[in-house]
Structure 1
Amino acid sequence: MELKTLQYFVRIAREESITRAANALHITQPTLSRQIKDLEKELNVKLFNRRNHNIQLTDEGVLLKNRAEALIEMSNKIQDEFKVIDKNIEGNVYIGCGETKGMEVIANIFNDIQDDYPNIHFHIYSGNADDIASRLDKGLLDFGILIQPVNLNKYKSLYLSTSDHWGIIAKKDDVLAQKSDVIKEDLVDKPLICSRQVLDTAIDKNDFTEWFGDLFNHLNIVGTFNLAYNAGWMVKAGLGYAITLDSIIDTSKESELTFIPLEPRLISKHNLVWRKDHTFSKAAQLFLDKAIDVCQ
């Protein structure tokens, strides 16, 4: 199985047409069809369901597409690193992060590095903790910014100087919006929309579940989310109250939503993490050195 064949396969999957894929790849349609037939024979599976006007992936095809995209991305990353390996410090740094104020620290480091090393480029992947951990484990990211609570056992890490405060997002005309803060008893009978990450009871030290204590198992959780932006729409629709971090969902004067902090205050710190066995490019190592200086 060659990487080029996987690239052809991914292009067909995206175009949903061998004809369009062949035109985009500047090869003949019979040649492309033969490549895919050989790939199906090699794997002993059917990758596409062929219809009159387009083709669709089978379940096996979806699995291969996910694996192939990761391999292609890793191949591109390796090529980028070796293009600059014998040059001055330049290249790409790949960082994954959630919705957090911790990005402010990282952006300032980016800016400092760019002043002296204009040929270093930074690439941000946004996602939740599971997304970022998966890409770190596959070597697709150099670093991740994770928000507590999270399991750090697999990684080396630095604490960033930033932190987020937990609270609820409610409509401004809601009864809870009149309070300066909310306690757990205020929420036990309310419809709640929560981050899937904080509901993970397998995390060794989960400050979120500990904050609710014995009431946690009695919460009325009507919905979950992985990134908070869409949770704001759920609140606007009247589904419930979103429990999330401050400064993520728009609660400005023009918004119909407001943020009310939890009491006692619940604060989540931020960690810059990287895989223990990860081999850094010169650019990524420079970023790490700068981050260590800032965080000490």
Structure 2
Amino acid sequence: MELRVLKYFLTVAAEGNITRAADILHVTQPTLSRQLKELEDELGTALLIRGKRSVTLTDEGFLFRQQAETIVELADKLEHTFTDKKDIICGTVRIGATEAVGGRTLAVCMKEFREKYPGVQFELYNGMADNIKEMIEHGLLDLGLVMEPIDTAKFEYVRMPQKETWGILVRRDHQLAKKETVTAEDIKQYPLIMPGRENAKEQILHWMQCEERHLDIPAYYNILSNAALLVEAGMGCAVCLDGALSIHADPELCFRQIHPAHVTRSVILWKKNHLFSQAASLFVQTIQEH
């Protein structure tokens, strides 16, 4: 199985049309069709359902696409690592980040690093902490900015200085908007839009001293901007951090801190004993020094 053929398959899967994919790949349609058929024969299963004007993926095709994307991405990263110029620091540093006020410090570090090494580029991936950790473990990301609590057994990390406080995001016409702070008892009676991350959810339920089944939870979120739209629509109150909220200020909504205060921090982490590219290694040093 060749990397080139995996890229052929991914292009066809993205376009949903063999003719368009052939044009993008600069190969003839018969050549592309033959390569795909040989791939299916090699795997012993059908990956595509061929229609008159389009193609769709079989169940096996969807699974194969996920694995192929990972393989191609790792191959591209490996190629970039070894084709970097020896006399100039260049390459790509891949960073995953959750929504946190610690991201402002990270942004400053990135800007200063880019000014010193203009040949370096950054790729940013936004997601949940668990997804970011998994991508770091598989070599798809170099570093990650995530919120505590977090299991750091497999990682080196630096804790960010900013503190972030838990509270709820509500509409300005909501009853709780009239309070300066709210208690767990105050918010239990309302529909709550909760973080989908398991560690954060367990932490919230612990200080609320209740079980998940006793709450009205209309939705879970991993990106606060999505939760804010649900709050704006009147679906409920979002349990969130003020740091994440500062990135998504909305005049129609307001944040009320939970009393007593529950505070956390973000960390930047990377895989232990990991062999970085020169650019990523220097950026880790920059983070540590900062």
Question: Could you state the TM-score of these two structures normalised by the residue count of structure 2?
Answer: 0.94
2:265 pairs with 1:269: yes
Q: 1:232 aligns with which of 228, 243, 260?
A: 228
| 1:225, distance to aligned residue in structure 2 (A) | 0.8
Report the 3-state secondary structure (helix = DSSP H, G, I; strand = E; otherwise coil) of the residue aligned with 2:9: helix
- Asked if the contact 2:95–2:124 (Cα under 8 Å) also holds between the matched residues in 1, the reply is yes
- Change beyond 3 A, Cα 1:99–1:43: same
Q: Is the 8 A contact 1:199 1:209 kept in 2?
A: no
Is the contact made by 2:149 and 2:199 (CA closer than 8 Å) also made in structure 1? Answer: no
Q: Give the superposition deviation at 1:215.
A: 5.8
Q: 1:63-115: per-residue Cα shift (whole Å, max 9, x none)?
A: 11111111111111111111116233222111100111111111111122222
- 1:73 aligned residue: 73
CA contact (8 A) 1:149 1:208 kept: no
What's the counterpart of residue 137 of structure 1?
A: 137
Hey, what does 2:253 align to over in structure 1? Answer: 257
Shift of 1:34: 0.6
- Asked if the contact 1:177/1:260 (under 8 Å) is kept, the reply is yes
CA distance in 1, matches of 2:249, 2:96: 25
Q: Describe how 1:1-296 pairs up with structure 2 within 5 A.
A: 1-84=1-84, 86-198=86-198, 207-214=203-210, 218-249=214-245, 250-252=248-250, 255-294=251-290
Superposed CA offset, 1:181-236 (max 9, x none) = 110011222110001115667xxxx5433321246653222210111111111112
Query: After TM superposition, where is structure 1 displaced by more than 3 Å over at least 4 residues in a row?
Result: 198-201, 214-217, 247-252
Does structure 2 retain, via aligned residues, the 8 Å contact 1:251–1:259? no
Does the Cα contact within 8 Å between 2:88 and 2:119 map onto a contact in 1?
A: no
Counterparts of 2:99 and 2:223, CA distance in 1: 7
Secondary structure of the corresponding residue to residue 88 of structure 1:
coil
CA contact (8 A) 1:3 1:72 kept: yes
Label 1:101 to 1:200 Cα distance change in 2 as closer, same or farther (>3 A): closer
Residue identity opposite 1:208 in structure 2 = I
- SS of 1:145's equivalent in the other structure is strand
Corresponding letter in the other structure for 1:113:
F
Please give the alpha-carbon distance, in whole angstroms, between the structure 2 residues aligned to 1:38 and 1:81: 31
CA distance in 1 between counterparts of 2:135 and 2:181 reads: 37
Q: Quickly say closer, same or farther: Cα 1:105–1:135, change in 2 above 3 A.
A: same
Question: What secondary structure, in the 3-state scheme, does the structure 2 residue paired with 1:271 have?
Answer: strand
* 8 Å CA contact retained: 2:98, 2:126: yes
Deviation at 1:251, TM superposition (A): 4.2
**How far apart, in 1, do the equivalents of 2:204 and 2:159 lie?**
19
Contact persistence 1:96–1:125 (CA under 8 A)? yes
* 1:238–1:128 distance in 2 versus 1, CA, 3 Å: same
Displacement of 1:291 in angstroms is 1.0
Is there any run of 5+ residues in structure 2 with no aligned partner, and where?
none
**Matched residues in 2 for 1:165 and 1:200: separation?**
13
Alpha-carbon distance in 1 for matches of 2:93, 2:131: 18
Tell me how far 1:247 sits from its aligned partner: 4.5
Identify which range, 87-96 or 53-62, moves more after superposition.
87-96
Which amino acid letter does the alignment assign opposite residue 49 of structure 1?
Answer: I
In the alignment, the residues of structure 1 paired with residue 44 and residue 273 of structure 2 have an alpha-carbon distance, to the nearest angstrom, of 35
Deviations 1:126-162 (A, max 9, x none): 1111221221121010000111122222222111112
Cα deviation 1:13-50 (Å, max 9, x = unaligned): 01101111111111111111110001001111110111
- The SS at the match of 1:248 is helix
Partners of 1:67 and 1:215 in 2: CA distance: 37
Local SS of the residue matching 2:218: strand
Q: Take 1:216 and 1:68, find their aligned partners in 2: how far apart are those partners?
A: 38
Change (3 A) 1:58 1:277: farther
Number of matched residues?
288
Change (3 A) 1:74 1:196: same
1:188–1:215: 8 Å Cα contact kept in structure 2?
no
> How far off its partner does 1:280 sit?
0.6
